[in-house]
Amino acid sequence: MSRVWFSPIGDNSLPDVISQKVLKLYRAAGFEKIFEKNEFVAVKIHFGEKNNTGHIKPQWIKPLLDAVKEKECKPFLTDTNTLYRGERQNSIDHLMQAYAHGFSIENLGVPVIIADGLLSKNHSEVPIDGKRHKSVKIANDILHSHSLIVLSHVTGHILTGMGAAIKNLAMGCAPRSGKQVQHADVKPKVNEEKCRACGLCIKWCPRDAIHIYDGVARIDIEKCYGCGECIATCRYHAIKSSFKNTSVSLQESMAEYALGAVKDKEGKCCYFNFITHVTKECDCMDKAQDKITGDIGILASYDPVAIDKATVDLLIEKAGKDILKDLWPENDYRVQIRHAESLGLGSENYELIRVE
């Protein structure tokens, strides 16, 4: 049975309170034994898209980074470039966005490195034995690191129902081409009756696969690689996908990519899930979002499956219902957890240890 450490927090907790909770979890879990002198430590985080407000804040993790540096190792904050158009599609814009949200060496004492390189070409194939993949593409600067700290902000998600540690490993450690592979079965369609030909989907399509013909948006399926950005941005709910099958294949691919991300790092990975300002959609949205439930706390574990399962259980307990399932009834988020467990990535069985 895996152990998951939990430190509760209330709404509107001060940054210093949250940062000390993170540090207490780090020490309670004994994570310091993971790191050794001169090792490279990738600290995987989502810096938040422009205008996003729910992402993990730099002030929350400064004491954690200081504690890791006490081991005389070399931590760096990292993420990979995105499929969709926004402020994180290439390393220069991505770094500028990270700095805009306060993730700078001046503030945190560690550098920021975009792990897949300027145009997302810095990656390698990692062999795995999965149901859908026999190899996965992982960003080299994560792959070549000796150890990995995964900091995940828990959110809902339009295609997977939930995003937490497994998704952060899977999408977050993959280059753009790896993200494309994971989304390969997502094929959006336009409801002509609902479409208003506003053109917003055209603006956000990274493949220039959408055009207006006869007053309706048309998607060129040959160009489309299924990132789902048009689905997320349509204000009129005119673009949908066959979620039942695509969500399953996407989540199973995610679990297999997560497996590849931590391959050869046994005993060298740790995870923090922040159940704070949980929103319906992920932090890739270029907007501020209202939270769907009150803040719950922070979890820590060596097991990405256990920490995600504990996250779900705490959300259900807080809301009195399966709030993520209610928000995204067509997407069963449990697929990613169950498939990850079947691959040996971790266990759904856990012991929750409270840390005040």
pLDDT given at position 297: 99
pLDDT given at position 242: 56
**Over 90: is that where the pLDDT of 232 sits?**
no
Q: Which of 312, 310, 307 is nearest to 346 (CA)?
A: 307
**How far is 203 from 199, CA to CA, in rounded Å?**
7
10 against 206, higher pLDDT: 10
pLDDT given at position 284: 85
Q: Tell me the pLDDT band of 228, cut-offs 50, 70 and 90.
A: confident
**How far is 266 from 168, CA to CA, in rounded Å?**
18
Query: Of all residues in the chain, what percent carry a pLDDT higher than 90?
Result: 83
Highest mean pLDDT among 111-115, 179-183, 212-216, 227-231: 111-115
284 against 11, higher pLDDT: 11
In the chain, the domains with their CATH numbers are: 2-182+248-354 (3.40.50.11440), 189-240 (3.30.70.20)
pLDDT given at position 180: 84
**How far is 226 from 85, CA to CA, in rounded Å?**
13
pLDDT tens figures, 289-326:
999 999 999 999 999 999 999 999 999 999 999 999 99
pTM beyond 0.85, yes or no: yes
pLDDT tens figures, 80-139:
999 877 788 899 999 999 999 999 999 999 999 999 999 899 999 999 999 999 999 999
**How far is 90 from 93, CA to CA, in rounded Å?**
6
pLDDT tens figures, 20-60:
999 999 999 999 999 999 999 999 999 999 999 999 999 99
CB 76 within 8 Å of CB 111: yes
**Over 70: is that where the pLDDT of 244 sits?**
no
pLDDT given at position 215: 95
pLDDT given at position 245: 62
User: Please, what's the b/e burial string for 56-73 (b: 16 or more CB within 10 A of its CB; e: otherwise)?
Assistant: bbbebbbbbbebbeebeb
pLDDT tens figures, 272-286:
999 999 999 988 888
**Over 70: is that where the pLDDT of 243 sits?**
no
Residue with tokens 């001046």: 106
pLDDT given at position 207: 86
The radius of gyration computed from the CA coordinates of the chain, to the nearest angstrom, equals 19
pLDDT given at position 246: 83
pLDDT given at position 240: 83
